[in-house]
Structure 1
């Protein structure tokens, strides 16, 4: 059976129930920089705030339902030619190509939507093999291992650095 296509769009207040389904899942947030959401009120405030702060924070949708989120955070100042990508996905959609398709869509739009963007970076914890696979399927290049790079949930961890350059765009689409 063929999976429905992935659509990226802005979050809406009506997405709260779908958002709570995966944003309260400890396993989904295992490699996330933030903790799971503990209340609908906390999630509602987050959605409103994040939608304003990050114009490139999008809902990952299948058949009109929000199954995850993807974002680009542009670096400011002298490094504004680059942005960092982040994403999360409801567990029931893991391993079905949804995240890789969402990343490809994000990349294909980002270089047009964000003037001056030349590089998209992904930092992935060394133990997060699934996310490494997502970025590789989307055409990102593994640049190397950053040892003891970041203190994450109380432990200093190693991260792999991935990148996608604007000149590589035709390979992604």
Structure 2
């Protein structure tokens, strides 16, 4: 019998928090899913050890990485990666969500939560951008609903999963109204 997912009564039931080693089983529930990883730079995780190493080595050292939670249970992740060098005014948004929670407004709410807080947490940040595979229409819609502006298509921009792909650039500026 398939485990029933927890359905939030409202999008206010969603929270963001640090991801910890103790979350490994919840992390593996969605990080091993090829549907979740389809448009991500990473491949689905294949072992708990691989997941633990990711949390210990990458997440713990990341400047802004959070678990997307319902009732404190991680069902996805969201991060802002700062650009370096002369581009410190920009940060790149990335997120992933367990497929059983898709289509419920959870990713949109998580993106809005990040947009409302990251510019305060990082006053030097003026631009939050997100690159979305041109075929990932649902993710494009998430960003539009969260107030991001579509800037254009970057043709043959990135090799992803062995194929050169077109990406859509979205941005939110610190001066843009937050939805």
Settle same-fold status: TM greater than 0.5: yes
8 Å contact from structure 1 (residues 150, 156) kept in 2: yes
Q: 2:54 aligns with which of 38, 42, 46?
A: 46
Deviation, 1:37, is 0.5
Q: Name the residue aligned to 1:2.
A: 9
Whether the 8 Å CA contact 1:7–1:61 is kept in 2: the answer is yes
State whether structure 2 residue 88 is matched by structure 1 residue 88: no
Distance of 1:52 and 1:27 partners within structure 2 = 25
CA RMSD of aligned residues (A): 1.1
User: Number of aligned pairs?
Assistant: 171
Match of 1:17 in 2: 25
Structure 2 alignment gaps of length 5 or more: 1-7
Offset of residue 50 of structure 1: 1.9
Decide which of 109, 118, 121 is 1:113's aligned counterpart.
121
User: Deviations 1:36-69 (Å, cap 9, x if unpaired)?
Assistant: 1110011001011122321201000001110000
Distance in 2 (CA, whole Å) between partners of 1:61 and 1:86 is 16
Secondary structure (helix, strand or coil) at the match of 2:93 reads strand
Residue number in structure 2 paired with 1:30: 38
CA 1:64/1:52 → structure 2, altered by over 3 Å: closer, same or farther? closer
User: Post-superposition shift, 1:171?
Assistant: 2.8
| 2:3 paired residue number | none
Equivalent pair of 2:132/2:140 in contact (CA under 8 Å): yes
Q: Which runs of 5+ in 1 are unaligned?
A: none
Asked if structure 1 preserves the Cα contact closer than 8 Å seen for 2:151 and 2:171, the reply is: yes
TM-score when normalising by structure 2: 0.92
Q: TM-score, normalised by structure 1?
A: 0.95
Superposed structure 1 runs of 4+ greater than 6 Å apart = none
8 Å contact kept, 2:151–2:169? yes
- In structure 1, how many angstroms separate the alpha carbons of the residues matched to 2:106 and 2:38? 18
* Aligned-partner Cα distance in 2 for 1:138–1:149: 24
